[in-house]
Amino acid sequence: MPVRFWTRLWGTTAPVTLEFGDGSPAMQVEAEATHVYATPGRYTAKLISLGPDREPLELRMQVVIE
């Protein structure tokens, strides 16, 4: 089943990267992305970018695939 992610990082000064937490390649996202997890489990997905003062920003999400 596909999982849809929306970026919630506003005011960033660098591209937003999405790490899915399952070892698959990270990708840059504009607004949203879809990913299919191969096996059930608990994953930590991350949105990563830089803030207005170039400080690191990271939003972590727990994804549970049953």
The tens digit of pLDDT for each residue in 5-62 reads 998 788 899 999 999 999 999 999 988 999 999 999 999 999 999 999 999 999 999 9
Dihedral (C-alpha) 64, 7, 17, 39: value to the nearest 10 degrees? 20
What does the pLDDT read at residue 8? 77
What pLDDT is attached to residue 54?
Answer: 93
* Tokens matching residue 11: 């005011």
Domains and CATH numbers, the chain: 2-65 (2.60.40.10)
Strand partners, 17: 28, 48
